[in-house]
Amino acid sequence: MNDLVITAGLLTLLTVLWLGWRGLVLLAKGKILSGLARLLPLGLVVAGVLILPTVVSIYFPHSPKNSCLNNLKLIGLACRMYSPNQKEAFPPSFLAMREYVGSNNVSLFVCPSSKHKPGTFDTVDLWADYVLVTNLTEASSPDTVLAYCKPGNHGGSGINVVFVDDHVEWVLPADYGKLSCDVLHLARVSKAPVQPTGVSSNRADAAR
């Protein structure tokens, strides 16, 4: 959504709320006498208050679910940065990507919905709210799960998943079985066949 649309929407909402408040002030001073006109200011204020949560959720979508999604995007990026120096293999653990995310960035491995406290980077693979699939390379199928949020962090409503081709999706529980690894059992190994390094599928080539 572009900045112009966001600005216009917010200005419209603020105008509605201001007109309603101004009308209530005039009403209190006895300057609005018509019966129908007396109801208009209150109606504007009520309408503004009712639509405010919807407007905020649309224009400022920084929900825990979206923050979790952004964490996985960064984890996927770190995997990409790691692989060129490792014969195109993705990291075997979160600890192995310390150089690419920063030793102090432990909050990256905490799902905001879980409200867990981060531990130390040295033990990140023991406490992280995400699971890294460890038998993958750059040549793996683009739709193979690379890392995912642990089921339960979002109250059982679904999980965020980052795939080998870098895209991140929100996956519902009914679709867990379609993924390339057993997320319900926190699997760290892909069920999908892993191609030898240097041999790319047509889909992988198209995704790059």
Residue partners of 156: CB distance under 8 A and separation at least 6: 173
Average pLDDT value for residue range 175-184: 94
Distance CA 148, CA 20 (A): 47
The three-class DSSP label of residue 93 is: coil
Q: Whose CA is closest to 107, among 77, 133, 125, 128? A: 128
Query: Of 59, 86, 105, which residue is a domain's last?
Result: 59
Number of domains in the chain: 2
pLDDT in tens, 11-21: 666 666 656 55
Task: Tell me, yes or no, whether 33 and 97 share the same domain.
Answer: no
The pLDDT, as a whole number, for residue 125 is 96
39 pLDDT higher than 70 = no
186 pLDDT higher than 90 = yes
Range of the domain at 42: 3-59
Task: Tell me, yes or no, whether 99 and 113 share the same domain.
Answer: yes
pLDDT in tens, 187-200: 999 875 444 434 33
Query: Of 17, 38, 59, which residue is a domain's last?
Result: 59
Task: Tell me, yes or no, whether 88 and 163 share the same domain.
Answer: yes
The pLDDT, as a whole number, for residue 45 is 53
Task: Tell me, yes or no, whether 187 and 124 share the same domain.
Answer: yes
Percent of the residues in the chain that have a pLDDT greater than 70, as a whole number: 62
